Amino acid sequence: MNMQISRTHASGNASGWLTIDLGALFDNYRLLQAQAPASAVAGVVKADAYGLGADHVATTLYAAGCRDFFVAHIDEAISLRKLIAQDARFYVLNGLQPGNEASCEAFDITPVLNSLAQVAQWSDFATSIGKTLPAILQVDTGMCRLGLPPEELEILVKDQSRLSGLRIDYIMSHLACADEPENLANAAQLAVMLEAALGLPNAKICFSNSGGIFLGSGYHNHLMRPGIALYGGAPSVLRPNPMKPVVGLQVAVVQTRIVPAGSQVGYGGSFVSKEEMRLATLAAGYADGLPRSLSNSGAVWFDGQRLPIVGRVSMDSIIVDISALPEGTLQHGSLVEVIGPQQSLEDVADDAGTIAYEILTSLGRRYQRKYIQPRDVAAALTDRAPNA
């Protein structure tokens, strides 16, 4: 998609436009698959597909060939199960919450078991209904977040009767520093992962996230599970971003004004004009995913000109300096670029002192959403529809 500003003014009920290019998403999945043709590539669609709409995203990934989907909570999987054909597989990263066993079994959802307690919980349920149920076993290889610590894994390997009634499809872990290719922690985690897998030789390995896919063939294994790279985010902080941008954001001007030198701008008067300035107030703020940390540091763009944010970001608005534009260029309802060809998702995150993940997942529901679906993607969706 050409991410140029596609509209010059807000329309309808929209104070801003969030454009989501499903064609770029489709191509990003295919690019990731091409990095490791012998491995399967899952799609991480948790948190409403990083805020972009899990229904649109998951069906597009399915059309691209994706059959494995990771979510964080069981409700996310149940919602998507109703949209996608039965050959799709869903995995819940946070594992089993007490009482979720019957729902997992009923909707054919696979939990990622993160502790001996969860292993026992799923095994007991499988035994009680007389079935063999699928599972992924997560081990902690050095992140100290989720997964069996070494001492619990040792107990399980020595006593595999604890897995009664279970079929362990994958053993998985998560790379903590994959976006830093030279970080020695990556190789250290891989070594621990491969050693852990020796104890469960019948289970395949699921290890690489977005950054891990680009660390080399040793990290690919059987199933990779990219997230941010699918949505156009950079998989590495040190290398050029090979992914196509998926998201564009434009926000409308609410008001323009001229202020004299010495004017205090925004809450707390954190910015004071040194000379006469022309300002524009825009219809988005931290309630719409533009962090307060962009205050006096971020910017928007219009027609190749950077327009700095001045003063503090408010809940529903920001103020930008438009003095560099010819007078009258921006008017009530004009749209400026927040994310697009002149300012990437990573640029906004850097200005905010955060990461692209946080910006992407915070983009609010008050924007008008526009999904771009090229003809070839639409045809693939029709060809691979659940009832086709």
Residues assigned a catalytic role: 46, 267
Under 8 Å CB-to-CB from 368, ≥6 apart: which residues?
12, 13, 14, 16, 17, 18
The Cα–Cα gap between 89 and 110 comes to: 8
> Closest Cα partner for 223 from 211, 202, 209, 235?
209
Q: Which amino acid is at 350?
A: D
The answer to whether the CB of 133 falls within 8 A of the CB of 126 is yes
**Could you give phi then psi for residue 261, rounded to 5 degrees?**
-55, 145
The Cα–Cα gap between 125 and 12 comes to: 52
CA angle centred on 292, ends 288 and 294, rounded to 5°: 100
The Cα–Cα gap between 302 and 8 comes to: 10
Relative to beta strand 109-113, strand 133-138 is: parallel
| Encoded tokens for 242 | 């090979």
